[in-house]
Structure 1
Amino acid sequence: ALTRHDWRTPAWIWLVPFVAALIIYLIGSAAVLGLRYPVRWIAGLGVGAGLLLSAANNLGPPGGFERGIAQVWEWSVNGPIGIDFLLSGGEDSLSYWRPGTGKRYVQIWTALPAIGGWAVAAAAWFSVALALFGLAIRRHWER
């Protein structure tokens, strides 16, 4: 049984893009400061991930590795401290679309975004970003 609720955007949701941009900026700065050749590292990680997925698809038992990767992906993107909660307050994680009447689709919410879930995700990602930034500037300290 679905019920209709009118929801107004709370004031805290206006902080989400600013905090997310700050955290992404810190992570990007850490990559640029901490790595000697950041473009090579990023390209190498992409190629390595592609090779690993290809090898796992062709050499392992069917479905085992893919399920593991899907679970890690689901947790890191839509989990309680996933990137979706950081970037949108959990909008994609807390809702899904269903066919409605005619050609329309209806967005169904399992829960509404709350400041608590976003704050936990932002604090976790901010601590990771600060740790990475600290490690990156550590490389440039004088000996």
Structure 2
Amino acid sequence: MLISLAPPILTLHLKRFQQAGFNLRKVNKHIKFPEVIDLAPFCAIKCKNVAEGNKRVLYSLYGVVEHSGTMRSGHYTAYAKMRTLKNHLSDLYFHNNFFKFLLTALETESAGQWFHISDTHVQPVAVSKVLNSQAYLLFYERLL
């Protein structure tokens, strides 16, 4: 089966359990995943929203959900990458130049920074921590 329409957002759900007899057991080992993924090998020849001659269909990781604990109990946390708004989007929301300036300054300062998010805290983390997490869900956005 091949992809006939490359989505703007790609969500991958990783199977983190295995059946052992009549029981389910959580898989705790690390599953390697990339920061940038190319879906071109999985796309149909005439993928509807890919320019003809385009050899790559790239996606960039921007979010990861991780589960700690067991199959019966645990806690979900997330990693999220700070991204910049497209200029036309900020124009829609901020007609005042001061707010545009402030937004641009904040985005420039933290663009590309990863954060670990839990119930009670948000803290900056290195991308290496994200890539070494026990991912459960991966969120990628298409690069145009």
Shorter-chain TM-score tier? under 0.3
Question: TM-score normalised to the size of structure 1?
Answer: 0.25
Q: Would you tell me which structure has more strand in proportion to its own residues? A: 2
Question: TM-score normalised to the size of structure 2?
Answer: 0.25
Q: Which has the larger radius of gyration?
A: 1
Q: Would you tell me which structure has more helix in proportion to its own residues? A: 1
